[in-house]
Structure 1
Amino acid sequence: MKTFAVSAVLAAFLTGAFFVSAALAQEPTVATEVAIATPTTLPKVSSTNLPAYLDHDLARKHADFTRFAKVRVKAMDENHRLSKSRMMITKLSDGRYKALYHAIDHETVICKVRRSSSKTIPYVAVLSYQEMVMAAIGSSPEECRSGEFIPVSIIPNRQIFSHKKGRWQ
């Protein structure tokens, strides 16, 4: 009896798939659009639309600009009008002294390089960094120079460079 019940339920379940309602058995009345990529519709791959990780020339220019930027930032940091070696010391109204100098935070240096649409300038780069204003207060100018400096403000900087005639300008 048990096997008959199992066989009957199984037969009813399996034959139910053949008796699909008329609405489901008909062709769809609404056309569904399907996206198909054929070889003629794919974009042509060239050096202008390559992903950055595949564009070896762009990667070389980025590495070249990063080296250039490190040298440039070091020189700007040393040659700043108010660098640590040329800090400004002023006497405050209460008789103490305040020392100020500017320093570039080398940890914030960001280099970005991209291709340009210009025929004469193939690459453009952006150098971003933060300049910190450092200050210390002491009872004498010598104490200020040797005191503990703390950042009092941060100045964001951005410079744009172009690669022309084989070098960054």
Structure 2
Amino acid sequence: MKRIRIVLTAIFLCFVLSSGAFASDVTEQTELSRFQIFAKSWVVKLNRSHIKGIQRMEIRPNEDGTYLARYHAIDPTSVQCIVKKTSSKRKGLIGLLKYIETVYESTGSSPKTARKSDFKAVKRTRITEIFSNSGKGWR
């Protein structure tokens, strides 16, 4: 009788502990999905408002009389999202948003042709941003 009680207690504890871990995994997956939605809209905002973005393309003359057009853009396909629990005693999550910002350049005989020519990627920079969520959404 004592052994049965010990076995049943062990089974019960395993069930309780594993169901908590499952609930935690589900919560983290839900928050990852929410963070991915937030990150997508964040990247759209960054691309739209970047001081050196395509809407505010830099055009400058070269020494040889041609013009250089340059802008920065984030490739949405390069976005990676990671969600982790914080190490603090208060409940909360951190979200890591990783992406690649690319600098594109083009040349032309005039500012207009430089703006309309084929742009080539000349520099890529990996960027990581950290966001937090303590129950009030991602910030």
TM-score by length of 2: 0.83
1:130 equivalent in structure 2: 100
Partner amino acid for 1:127? L
SS class of match (2:77): strand
1:146 equivalent in structure 2: 116
Structure 1 position 120 matched with structure 2 position 93? no
SS class of match (2:76): strand
Structure 1 portions without partners, runs of 5+: 1-38
Following superposition, the deviation at residue 154 of structure 1 comes to 0.2
Could you tell me which of 64, 67, 77 is aligned with 1:94? 64
- Is the 2:92–2:135 contact (alpha carbons within 8 Å) kept by the matching residues of 1? no
Give the aligned length: 126
Matches within 5 A, 1:35-114: 39=10, 44-45=17-18, 47=20, 50=21, 55-114=25-84
Tell which has more relative contact order, 1 or 2 (C-alpha 8 A, sep 6+): 2
Distance 1:117 1:45 in 2: 21
1:16 equivalent in structure 2: none
SS class of match (2:71): strand
Structure 2 portions without partners, runs of 5+: 1-9
SS class of match (1:168): coil
- Is the 1:112–1:126 contact (alpha carbons within 8 Å) kept by the matching residues of 2? yes
Structure 1 runs of 4+ off > 2 angstroms?
44-47
Give me the CA root mean square deviation.
2.0
Partner amino acid for 2:65? G
1:167 equivalent in structure 2: 137
Following superposition, the deviation at residue 151 of structure 1 comes to 0.2
Identity, in percent, stands at: 33
Q: By percentage of residues, which structure has more helix? A: 2
TM-score by length of 1: 0.69
Q: Larger radius of gyration, structure 1 or 2? A: 1
Report the CA distance shift for 1:51/1:45 in structure 2 as closer, same or farther (over 3 A): closer
